[in-house]
Amino acid sequence: MPDDAPKKPSRIQLKNRKKILDAALEVFSSHGFRGATLDQIAEAAGLSKPNLLYYFDGKEDIHRTLLNGLLDVWLAPLKEMDPSGDPLEELMGYIHRKLEMSWEMPRESRLFAGEVIQGAPRMEADLQSGLKPLFDAKCDVIRGWADAGLLAPVNPAHLLMSIWAVTQHYADFEAQVGVLTGPAPRAEARAHVDKMFRSLLSP
């Protein structure tokens, strides 16, 4: 192996990077990018600020690392929508996965939402190169299903955005949902969302 080949990070280094990213996810999802500080992240990670800066160049580097990892996770359910499957069940499966992700990954949802609300300054290129081609391809699939009479007539782009708005509400407005419906509205929410979209999409 060449002497100048990059060394693999040690177990301690990998553990500390994970601690920093986990802490940063909590801080960014609670305070947003502008409100978060390196001191807050270091304290949440149980590390000193100089130690944190050994692993990352700064707040923006940490934030971008989180977002890059999140985009792949966030797009996975859309990628899994099978053009050869039953159209209604493929869409309902996607909706259910997005709903579950909102409940299981609320911090990640708020991190993504916060970045987009600010105009996506750190991930606009990723949206253009990662999300846009996938979005266009899945819109074509949905449009083909509707044109074939397998779904009710629907605007694919607005359908997908409506799915995101409804499902991610349970993460991005988690505190408000808790006040309005109590701590465990999942079964009722799942049933309502299922009925609403099945009624909209059934041919």
Among the residues of the chain, which ranges form H helices?
11-35, 38-45, 49-55, 59-79, 87-104, 106-117, 124-126, 132-147, 156-172, 174-181, 186-201
User: Are 82 and 177 found together in one domain?
Assistant: yes
User: Are 84 and 125 found together in one domain?
Assistant: yes
Q: Give me the number of domains the chain comprises.
A: 2
User: Are 164 and 183 found together in one domain?
Assistant: yes
For residue 77, what are its two tokens? 């359910």
User: Are 83 and 31 found together in one domain?
Assistant: no
Write down the pLDDT at residue 200: 97
Range of the structural domain that residue 131 is part of: 64-201
92, 99 in Cβ contact below 8 A?
Answer: no
For residue 22, what are its two tokens? 């986990």
User: Are 92 and 37 found together in one domain?
Assistant: no
User: Are 72 and 47 found together in one domain?
Assistant: no
Could you tell me how far CA 170 lies from the centroid of its own chain? 13
Q: What is the C-alpha separation between 150 and 84, in angstroms, rounded?
A: 12
Does residue 2 lie in a domain region? no
User: Are 119 and 195 found together in one domain?
Assistant: yes
Evaluated on CA atoms 92, 94, 96, 99, the torsion sign reads: negative
User: Are 103 and 168 found together in one domain?
Assistant: yes
Write down the pLDDT at residue 1: 42
User: Are 26 and 74 found together in one domain?
Assistant: no
CATH code where residue 27 lies: 1.10.10.60
Which contacts (CB < 8 Å, 24+ apart) does range 80-86 have?
81/138, 81/141, 83/141, 83/144
Write down the pLDDT at residue 184: 65
For residue 143, what are its two tokens? 């449009």
Query: Please, which residues have CB within 8 angstroms of residue 12's CB and are 6 or more apart in sequence?
Result: none
User: Are 115 and 166 found together in one domain?
Assistant: yes
Does residue 192 lie in a domain region? yes
**For the segment 12-34, what is each residue's pLDDT rounded down to a tens digit?**
888 999 999 999 999 999 998 99
User: Are 148 and 68 found together in one domain?
Assistant: yes
Write down the pLDDT at residue 21: 95
Could you tell me the pTM of the whole model? Answer: 0.85
User: Are 114 and 96 found together in one domain?
Assistant: yes
Write down the pLDDT at residue 6: 56
CATH code where residue 106 lies: 1.10.357.10
Write down the pLDDT at residue 154: 97
Does residue 13 lie in a domain region? yes
Write down the pLDDT at residue 3: 52
Does residue 86 lie in a domain region? yes
> Which residues of the chain are modeled with pLDDT < 70?
1-7, 184
